[in-house]
Structure 1
Amino acid sequence: MERIQYNVIERDTKNASGKAKKDVGNILRINGFKNLYNPLEYRYFRVMQQLWSISRLKSDICLFVQYPANIQICYNYLKSRKGFKICIIHDLESLRGTKTVKEEISVLNSFNIVISHNEKMSQYLRSNGLVSRIVELDIFDYLLPVDLPINATYRNNEIAFAGNLEKSIFLKRMGELQDFKVNLYGAPISDMQPIVSNRNIDYKGCFSSEDLISHLSGGWGLVWDGDSLDCCNGIAGEYMRYNCPHKVSMYIVSERPIIIWNQAAMADYVVKHNLGIKVSSLHNLQNIISSFSSDEYNLMVRAVKAEKMKLSVGGQLQGILNSILNQ
């Protein structure tokens, strides 16, 4: 059976979404998945290329699709094509309010297998009508060169936060956590002053997804969203109840233990594998961190490094591909 991936445009990017899709594409190539088409520069011609390439698909193929990465007309056309079709979810737009759940389920039900982020996301999909077989990823890979240097400075009172500063409104209140220094990474925004005016925040700059790994410093990596320090709220905060943030993987390959909201879908995974801690409120952080001995913290770092060995070479998705393709 021929293996084909519905390839996505790969551009140099400084956001997690681009890195995640690029890594999936590279892991698929290692496993013998050929590109569906060779993208041209202009979007109109790329759409025509895709429709033509879909029309020529045979029935004895294994097609791997990254979702969402294509326009609706292409997904609709794919429904009519036979073959064994696999889809990996990067984002669920219905959870962000940009698409109806009915629209998404209609697309996802056209696949034989859907790779969901985790059990919470799977429950959401099932309760809304998904009938395809579901396989859970649990955590995203984060491919890295083997010789990439890491900042080996670990300070227990320093937290690293990397991400979209525009939507991370809670950063304006981080001055309330005076026991911690916060090392901040991300593209600068027009209204940086309310953030960097906090004396405990040190803005470090913006780096590519790979360069960031060498520059990241601090004893912990923070996974948080919304406008509050007491919980992750709003659409972005609620989304954390279902998704596996690529940011978690980024901190792990940077060899930083995780701080994550205790209601996040990934909180249990982080704690189960001793990759960090879960908290209900950042105001509780000092008491929780001070309760750990240096030996306990070092055990976390060792667990993080072990997890890194898997994620940095694509071991998580590779295991799933092995189970699917060898069945």
Structure 2
Amino acid sequence: MSKKYIYIHDLTESENHAGYKARHDIFNILKKRKEIEVVKVPLSIGGIFERISSVIAFMKFLNNCRQGEHLVFNYPLAKPYGKLLEIMTFFRSFNFSLIVHDLNSLRKKQAKEDTLIYKATNIISHNKTMTSYMKDIGVENINIIELNLFDYLHQCDSQTRNIEACVDITLLIAGNLSKEKAGYLYSWEPTFPVDIYGINYNGTSEKLNYHGVFDADNPGKLMSMNKSYYGLVWDGDSQLTCSGMFGEYLKYNNPHKASLYLSLSIPVVVWSGSALAEFVRREKCGVVIDNLNELEHIIRNKNQWEHCRVEAERLSLKISNGDFLGEALKKFE
């Protein structure tokens, strides 16, 4: 990375919540790297006056960029900032790269990607499946790099658990528990206890033990339970497969909850049709299943859990140090 790279931290202070955890982590990882300058340019998604103020500040920043500077943005950018960036590339001599968080054309019906994505120099994709999809929609002649897994920074020491005292293996589910995203929770009757954490839960199952929410930067609440957990990554309405818009999206993205689990040395359980399945098999950090009915056998296998836990602990060091993003940046052109 001999060029001058400038990372644009685009969040406002009011957006400091779990939904923006990945973007804040990228900011905190990159500001420690000497080869990258980090600049905070808040791009408001608030009211009309806030957006106008952000547009003016953004245009001034882009206008002051020097020849040869290379800007790095999170993708997607909120409207209208992506279009403004694209326009300014015609008038200013700078290149830009994108760190992909989501692809709108996969998340929303009939949505299209910003034309910005077709003009980047480098793109950090989630995984090989997402890269293949981008090439299918015409993102060509661009250096696309697979992240493989999002990093996850926190203040919790995963070694505080007394593993020897954890007798039974328990399933853990964290994230958005709404019926729209996790509909399977509202019809599933597991034969074993399940601990769940997150927003938007209004179920009544006696087997699903709801523990509220926790600070995304300090998930010590999960460790305080002192349990042998598998972390489940599953979306959609069905217990038999990941279905619907959110379930289908698992075929392409790297869910941030997987990074949370593994950063705490918690092995994961993922759907066999998900893009994450290849990573889990390769790294041996969890179990791949076709449907939730397989879980009863899995949580009874202490030896298998222990093997997966050791590999999850190995990965936790990389995730909490920002190594996945660091490796991706080395492949920038």
TM-score scaled by length of structure 1: 0.88
* Whole-Å separation in 1 of the counterparts to 2:267 and 2:42: 39
Q: How far 1:111 moved relative to its partner?
A: 0.8
- SS of the counterpart of 2:119? coil
Partner of 1:200: 207
1:137-182 deviation per Cα after TM superposition (whole angstroms, max 9, x unaligned): 11000113375775556454421111111121111123x212x211
* Whole-Å separation in 1 of the counterparts to 2:167 and 2:116: 46
Aligned AA for 1:34?
E
Contact 1:213/1:250 (<8 A) preserved: no
Pairs within 5 Å for 1:137-152: 137-145=147-155, 147=157, 150-152=160-162
Work out whether 1:170 is the aligned partner of 2:184: yes
Work out whether 1:182 is the aligned partner of 2:194: yes
Q: How far 1:40 moved relative to its partner?
A: 8.7
Work out whether 1:227 is the aligned partner of 2:237: yes
1:3-43 deviation per Cα after TM superposition (whole angstroms, max 9, x unaligned): 2112121546442x411001111222222433445549833
Summarize the Cα distance change of 1:316–1:40 in structure 2 as closer, same or farther, 3 Å threshold: closer
Q: Runs ≥4 in structure 1, deviation > 6 angstroms? A: none
Aligned AA for 2:255?
P
* Whole-Å separation in 2 of the counterparts to 1:264 and 1:40: 32
Contact 1:159/1:181 (<8 A) preserved: yes
* Whole-Å separation in 1 of the counterparts to 2:219 and 2:260: 9
* Whole-Å separation in 1 of the counterparts to 2:281 and 2:152: 20
Q: Single out whichever of 228-237 and 31-40 deviates more from structure 2.
A: 31-40
1:167-221 deviation per Cα after TM superposition (whole angstroms, max 9, x unaligned): 21111123x212x2111111245xx1xx2x2111111111111222442554210
* Whole-Å separation in 1 of the counterparts to 2:320 and 2:153: 4
- SS of the counterpart of 1:205? coil
Summarize the Cα distance change of 1:112–1:129 in structure 2 as closer, same or farther, 3 Å threshold: same
Work out whether 1:118 is the aligned partner of 2:121: no
Q: Single out whichever of 32-41 and 237-246 deviates more from structure 2.
A: 32-41
Contact 2:250/2:275 (<8 A) preserved: yes
Partner of 1:128: 137
- Runs of at least 5 residues in structure 2 that lack an aligned partner in the other structure: 45-49
Work out whether 1:303 is the aligned partner of 2:290: no
Partner of 2:30: 28
Contact 2:42/2:54 (<8 A) preserved: yes
> Please, which of 9, 12, 30 is the counterpart of residue 11 of structure 2?
9
* Whole-Å separation in 2 of the counterparts to 1:57 and 1:124: 32
Summarize the Cα distance change of 1:259–1:66 in structure 2 as closer, same or farther, 3 Å threshold: same
Summarize the Cα distance change of 1:40–1:93 in structure 2 as closer, same or farther, 3 Å threshold: closer
* Whole-Å separation in 2 of the counterparts to 1:40 and 1:317: 23
Summarize the Cα distance change of 1:62–1:315 in structure 2 as closer, same or farther, 3 Å threshold: same
Aligned AA for 1:21?
R
Q: Single out whichever of 269-278 and 214-223 deviates more from structure 2.
A: 214-223
* Whole-Å separation in 1 of the counterparts to 2:86 and 2:272: 38
* Whole-Å separation in 2 of the counterparts to 1:225 and 1:251: 16
* Whole-Å separation in 2 of the counterparts to 1:115 and 1:239: 18
* Whole-Å separation in 2 of the counterparts to 1:40 and 1:181: 43
- SS of the counterpart of 2:5? strand
Partner of 2:263: 253
* Whole-Å separation in 2 of the counterparts to 1:283 and 1:144: 32
> Please, which of 100, 121, 136 is the counterpart of residue 111 of structure 2?
100
- SS of the counterpart of 2:187? helix
* Whole-Å separation in 2 of the counterparts to 1:70 and 1:226: 26
Contact 2:21/2:216 (<8 A) preserved: yes
Contact 1:10/1:22 (<8 A) preserved: no
- SS of the counterpart of 1:34? strand
Q: How far 1:278 moved relative to its partner?
A: 0.9
